[in-house]
Amino acid sequence: MPVDTYMGDRGVYRRRRHATYHVSNDHRIQRLSHRPHYQTVNYNHLNGGVERHFEPIPDTIANGVVLNTLLRFAATVFSGVDPAASWFVEVHQFRIEAIEHGGKPTPEGAHRDGVSFVLMVLIDRQNVTGGETTIYSRAGVPLADFTLQERFDIALVDDEKVVHGVSPVFPRDGNQVAYRDVLVITFRAVRGFTVEETCP
């Protein structure tokens, strides 16, 4: 997986791919044409403010049963909050390499993503400690903390109401490969969405 070259802290511990989708309010899924990822500096003071171009998630994953099932599951849950919405979805495939001084899953610190909801899915943890997720109120009061440990452990986050962050990951055994693989899937409620171009 390619190294994320947009890191404001100049770190080379994060690898990343990206894909976008539209999920209708009857849960039909359309993969969209590949496009850059953008966040304002209000939501990402470290890496925001520029279009970030990442390699696409491979078709075997992006069009696969597992990811499509996750998209439908999350859309079903989130539609319980906003039944009229359809969703603009961004899927971020991350590998955080655990390094001696700590690989940072959220190098920008505790933050909001500027969307409606977030689904975080653990894919793999190899030889790492740390990686604790903390949920805060908008006022910065800690509300919950937990660590995604097993494959397909998930967290559902209401991004409009809370802030989230993940602590650094460290190698358990410095002589072995160490990393944390996660899918972060963001859902932004949209209405009157027009699918400009879908991927084949």
Q: Find the CATH number of the domain harbouring 70.
A: 2.60.120.620
Tell me if 83 is assigned to some domain.
yes
Question: Is 21 inside a domain boundary?
Answer: yes
Residue 165: which domain range? 14-190
* Residue 160 within a domain: yes
- Cα dist. 71→90, 117, 124, 174, 198 in Å? 10, 12, 19, 36, 17
* Local structure of 154: helix, strand or coil: strand
Among candidates 18, 54, 7, 3, which has minimal Cα distance to 184? Answer: 18
Residue at 196 is within a domain: no
Q: What is the mean pLDDT of each run of 10 residues along the chain (200 residues)?
A: 93 96 91 94 88 96 95 92 88 96 93 96 97 97 97 97 97 95 96 55
In a domain, 118, yes or no: yes
Give the pLDDT confidence score for residue 80 in this predicted structure. 85
119 domain-assigned: yes
Whether 4 is in a domain gets the answer no
pTM over 0.85: yes
Examine residue 154 and state whether it is found in any structural domain, yes or no.
Answer: yes
How many domains in the chain?
Answer: 1
